Amino acid sequence: MSNLDPQNRLVEWFRRWRTPLRRFLASRNAVRPADFDDVAQEVFLRLLRYDAAQIVEHPQAYLFKMASNVAAEWSIRSSNRLLHEPHWLASLAAEDSPEQALDSEAAQREILRALNTLSPRERAILKLYFEEGLSQAEIAIRLNVSFRIVRRDFEKSYGKLRRELNDELIRALQYGHE
Amino acid sequence: MDTNDRRARATHEATQWWNRLSIQKPTEVSQSERELFTEWLRESPLHVAEFLRVAHVHDSLERFKLWNEVEVGGAEAPDNIVHLCDVDERAPEESNVDREARSRVRTWAIAASSCLIAILGAWFALSLRGDVLESKLAERRQVMLEDGTVVQLEPETRLRVKFEDKLRRVELEHGRALFRVAKNPQRPFLVSADQTSVRAVGTAFGVESGARGVVVTVAEGKVAVTDSPKAQADGAEIYLTAGQQVTVQDSGAVAPVRVVDTTRALAWAQGQLVFENDTLADVIQEFNRYNRVQLSIDDAQLAARKVSGVFEATDSETLLAFIRESGAEISITRTDAGIVIGTHAR
């Protein structure tokens, strides 16, 4: 992220939503999971203040951009309040390497554990998508099931992982300490 | 009430949006889809939170490296077991029509949830052994009992459920409830209120226990009503069929069976209140059950005024407008505690 100048970055997040998403995910490290709903609440209020027509152009880009801004402001506020919070110190240390964080072995293990709570078919679908890069239509043919089932299992598995993945664990691991 | 339900639904919708916007042909998202998505985001902070969380799940999967350790045994074999499993899993899924209907409904659903009443759709599967079901002021809830019977509790209702091997018993302590009884001839369903009991096999009926005594109204099927335990022992039952209503007064006197318009007589089950020549004091008491904002009258003459009409239970503004238009010189004072209706000159 830091290798783009602000001008280019601005153009980038308007054109695509991936960059804002990355920013959001990186800044999210500074938000405690317990505070996450409050951050979302603030993002929601900002979404309401914006002109809907403008958001409609690039809804995801706006969403992630706002979320990363709010998360950043939130972390500043909470670090003023709680200077001795370990996560604040950790976020300082980790600031330049948010990308590496998830590579840590333990975070990988947590994701593996969560994946193993899914049904075999849900696991197969995610594996074919993320490892082999197949589309959902191709996965349907490969598994000899309807496209609808693939789509539904895909969505269901995200819902399950959303509940299963230990936010605190993954987040702590992102700072690289066990 | 059902924060978890709402959260689960938001998660589900968030995964659907994520799939549509980020997985399936993300470069071909139409203007109208983006409009719908924006609308959805702006409906609730919960939607925002869950969409962001799903984004996080996706990111975790993208950076996951141990796919070779993920077991997928059996998933690729198109054998009978997998096939049957497909059929089974399809059943609980809502049809596309349902889903579309739901998104249409969503707008008013949000509006309704922003009203202070927490109603509808909380289907608790309870295992009940003498359990108490209760609804509070301004709360309506639906509860599914273990036999599949659905009980709809109106505000400030309390009932006790006692299921036995040969008998399903419910005691209505106060308030009113609509019962949609699951059929089981071997196990009659008995609702008692005061001394009155109502026996049903498989039917839908409402029971109200209040100032007027016990009112039983049958919407579907047939029930047997007894006005005392003795009458029950003697087999002196009053049979009611669909469209009939009977009132057992507190004195024990049984008013003759009436033929009623059940949509009107059971309008409360649809969230409507029907009044016929009732005093404004009674009307307001009824409204207050359904709403957190409490109405009160500080004028006795006004309180005695007769009111007839059909009102949405949660819309007290319409009632106020109705009173005003009926020619009464009223003043309306809004305080933190509620709304006071008076006759003072404004």
The dihedral through the CA atoms of B307, B312, B313, B317 has a sign that is negative
**pTM, 2 dp:** 0.45
Select the residue from A16, A18, A44 to test the B interface by mutation, using most B Cβ atoms within 10 A. A44
Residue B11: helix, strand or coil by DSSP?
A: helix
Interatomic CA distance for residues B238 and B240, integer angstroms: 6
Are A10 and A42 in the same domain?
yes
Residues A138 and A163 in one domain: yes
Select the residue of A28, A47, A144 nearest B41 (Cβ to Cβ): A47
pLDDT reading at A11 higher than 60: no
For residue A104, is pLDDT > 90?
Answer: no
* Of A75, A97, A119, the domain-final residue: A97
Say what the pLDDT of residue B229 is: 73
CATH 2.60.120.1440 segments of chain B: 128-265
Task: Please check whether residue B86 touches A, CB under 8 A.
Answer: yes
B200-205 own/partner pairs: CB under 8 Å, 24+ apart: B200/B224, B203/B179, B204/B178, B204/B179, B204/B180, B205/B178, B205/B179, B205/B181, B205/B240
Helix (H), strand (E) at residue B179: strand B168-180
- Best interface-test mutation with A: which of B5, B43, B76 has the largest number of A CBs within 10 A? B76
What pLDDT does A170 receive?
Answer: 64
CB proximity B67 to A under 8 Å: yes
Our CA-based measurement puts residue A139 at a distance from the nearest CA of chain B, in whole angstroms, of 10
- Kind of pairing between the strands at B306-312 and B338-342: unpaired
Q: Are residues A115 and A166 in the same domain?
A: yes
Last residue of some domain: A51, A70, A97? A97
How many domains would you assign to chain A? Answer: 2
A47 in helix, strand or coil? helix
pLDDT confidence bin for B59, thresholds 50/70/90:
confident
Looking only at Cα atoms, what is the longest distance across chain B? 81
Identify the domain boundary among A97, A115, A136.
Answer: A97
- Confidence band of A70 (pLDDT split at 50, 70, 90): confident
CA distances from B38 to A33, A56, B13, B330 (A): 25, 6, 13, 44
Q: Which of B317, B341, B319, B323 is nearest to B331 (CA)?
A: B341
Lowest mean pLDDT, pick from B12-21, B123-132, B250-259: B123-132
What is the spatial distance between Cα A156 and Cα A122, in angstroms, rounded to a whole number?
Answer: 8
CATH node for B128-265: 2.60.120.1440
Interface contact A108-B55, CB threshold 8 A: no
| Alpha helix segments (H runs only) across chain B | 3-18, 31-41, 45-62, 80-90, 96-114, 229-234, 262-265, 280-290, 300-303, 316-325
Partner residue opposite A108 with nearest CB, options B66, B71, B76: B66
| Residue B301 scores a pLDDT above 60 | yes
In contact, A127 and B84? CB cutoff 8 Å: no
Residue found under tokens 């002109």: A51
pLDDT, averaged across chain B: 76
Do both A60 and A83 map to the same domain? yes
Fold of B271-342: Phage tail protein beta-alpha-beta fold (3.55.50)
Cα–Cα distance measured from residue A73 to residue A76, given in angstroms and rounded to the nearest whole number: 5
Phi and psi at residue B107, in whole multiples of 5°? -55, -50
Tell me the Cα Rg of chain A: 18
More confident position, B200 or A92? B200
The band of B13, judged by pLDDT with boundaries at 50, 70 and 90, is very high
Domain that holds residue A166: 102-178
Size of interface A-B (CB pairs under 8 A): 162
Q: Which residue of A lies nearest to B85 if distances are taken between CA atoms?
A: A121
CA proximity to A127, closest of B76, B78, B18: B76
pLDDT bucket at B11, cuts 50 / 70 / 90? very high
Between CA B56 and CA B78 the distance in angstroms is: 32
Please name which of A46, A81, A87 lies closest in space to residue A65, comparing C-alpha atoms: A46
Confidence of residue B14 (pLDDT cuts 50, 70, 90): very high
Statement to judge: residues A73 and A156 lie in one domain: no
B-proximal residues of A, 1-40, CB under 8 Å:
21, 24-25, 28, 36-37, 40
